[in-house]
Amino acid sequence: MQFVVRDPSPRTVHRLQSAGVHPLLARLLAARGVSEPEQAQPQISALLPPHQLLHADTAARALADAIAAGQRMCVVADYDCDGATACAVALRGLRMLGADVDYLVPNRFTTGYGLSPAVVDLVAARPGGAPHWIITVDNGIASVDGVARAHELGIRVLITDHHLPGERLPAAEVIVNPNQPDCTFPSKNLAGVGVMFYVLLALRAELRARGAFPAASQPRLDSLLDLVALGTVADVVRLDANNRLLVAHGLRRMREGRMQPGVRALFSACAREASHAGTFDLGFGLGPRINAAGRLSDMTVGIECLSTDDAERALQLAQSLDGINRERRGIEQRMREQAQQALESLHAREGTSQRASISLFSADWHEGVVGIVAGRLKERHHRPVFVFAPGGDGQLRGSGRSIAGFHLRDALDLVSKREPGLLLRFGGHAAAAGCSIGAAGFERFAAAFEQVAAEWLSPELLARRLEVDGELDAQWFDVEVAALLQQQVWGQGFAPPLFASEVEVVQQSQFGNGHLRARVRTAGQRGGAPRELVAWNRSEFLPERARVAWRLEANTWQGRSSPRMVLEAVEQT
Three-state secondary-structure class, residue 115: coil
CA 407, CA 225: separation in Å to the nearest integer? 30
Angle 65-71-75 from CA coordinates, rounded to 5°: 100
pLDDT, tens only, 276-334: 999 999 999 999 999 999 999 899 999 999 999 999 999 999 999 999 999 999 999 99
Are 229 and 317 in the same domain?
yes
Domain count, the chain: 3
311: in domain = yes
pLDDT, tens only, 506-515: 999 999 888 9
CA 91, CA 249: separation in Å to the nearest integer? 21
Percent of the chain having pLDDT more than 70?
100
Could you tell me whether strands 432-438 and 395-401 are parallel, antiparallel, or unpaired per DSSP bridges? antiparallel
Domain of residue 531, CATH code: 2.40.50.460
DSSP 309: -
Are 168 and 290 in the same domain?
yes
pLDDT, tens only, 316-326: 999 999 999 99
Length of the chain: 573
- Residue 239 backbone dihedrals phi, psi, to 5 degrees: -90, 75
Are 266 and 211 in the same domain?
yes
24: in domain = no
pLDDT band, very low/low/confident/very high, at 484 (cuts 50, 70, 90): very high
- Residue 55 backbone dihedrals phi, psi, to 5 degrees: 70, 5
DSSP 43: -
pLDDT band, very low/low/confident/very high, at 556 (cuts 50, 70, 90): confident
CA 155, CA 413: separation in Å to the nearest integer? 31
176: in domain = yes
CA 376, CA 87: separation in Å to the nearest integer? 28
> Average pLDDT in the 20-44 region?
93
CA 188, CA 302: separation in Å to the nearest integer? 27
Tell me which H or E stretch contains 400. Answer: strand 395-401
271: left (phi over 0), alpha (psi -120 to 50) or beta: left
pLDDT, tens only, 115-162: 999 999 999 999 989 999 999 999 999 999 999 999 999 999 999 999
Are 377 and 274 in the same domain?
no
pLDDT, tens only, 418-445: 999 999 999 888 889 999 999 999 999 9
Write down which residue in 404, 432, 462 finishes a domain: 462
- For residue 408, the model assigns a pLDDT of 95
pLDDT value at 568 more than 70? yes
pLDDT value at 52 more than 70? yes
Are 62 and 173 in the same domain?
yes
CA 279, CA 282: separation in Å to the nearest integer? 5
Write down which residue in 423, 440, 462 finishes a domain: 462
CA 485, CA 472: separation in Å to the nearest integer? 13
pLDDT, tens only, 517-548: 999 999 877 777 899 999 998 889 999 999 99
Q: Work out the widest C-alpha separation in the chain, in whole angstroms.
A: 76
- For residue 573, the model assigns a pLDDT of 65
**Rounded (10°) CA dihedral 482, 487, 492, 497:** -20
Are 92 and 185 in the same domain?
yes
Three-state secondary-structure class, residue 506: strand
- For residue 160, the model assigns a pLDDT of 98
Three-state secondary-structure class, residue 560: strand
539: in domain = yes
Write down which residue in 462, 482, 506 finishes a domain: 462
16: in domain = no
Domain that holds residue 99: 46-322
Distances (CA, A) of 320 to 106, 300, 316, 427: 20, 12, 6, 30
159: in domain = yes
Distances (CA, A) of 433 to 25, 147, 291, 384, 443: 34, 22, 16, 11, 19
Are 368 and 259 in the same domain?
no
Are 508 and 476 in the same domain?
yes
Three-state secondary-structure class, residue 126: coil
Q: Output the pTM of the full model.
A: 0.92
CA 290, CA 283: separation in Å to the nearest integer? 11
Are 262 and 373 in the same domain?
no
String of DSSP letters for 159-173: EE--SPP-SS----S
30: in domain = no
Amino acid at 332: E
> Average pLDDT in the 477-490 region?
94
pLDDT, tens only, 175-233: 999 999 999 999 999 999 999 999 999 999 999 999 999 878 899 999 999 999 999 99
Spatial CB neighbours of 29, under 8 Å, sequence gap ≥ 6 = 16, 21, 39, 40
How many CA atoms, within 13 angstroms, populate the side-chain half-sphere of residue 163?
A: 27
Spatial CB neighbours of 127, under 8 Å, sequence gap ≥ 6 = none
pLDDT, tens only, 458-478: 999 999 899 999 999 999 999
CA 239, CA 236: separation in Å to the nearest integer? 8
**Sheet architecture: strand order including 133-137:** 100-104, 72-76, 133-137, 156-160, 174-176
Domain of residue 302, CATH code: 3.90.1640.30
Q: Which residue has the higher pLDDT, 339 or 537?
A: 339
CA 80, CA 77: separation in Å to the nearest integer? 9
pLDDT, tens only, 222-269: 999 999 999 999 998 999 999 999 999 999 999 999 999 999 999 999
CA 565, CA 518: separation in Å to the nearest integer? 10
Domain of residue 441, CATH code: 3.10.310.30
Are 436 and 455 in the same domain?
yes
Are 313 and 365 in the same domain?
no
pLDDT band, very low/low/confident/very high, at 358 (cuts 50, 70, 90): very high
Are 425 and 473 in the same domain?
no
**Rounded (10°) CA dihedral 76, 80, 85, 88:** 40
414: in domain = yes
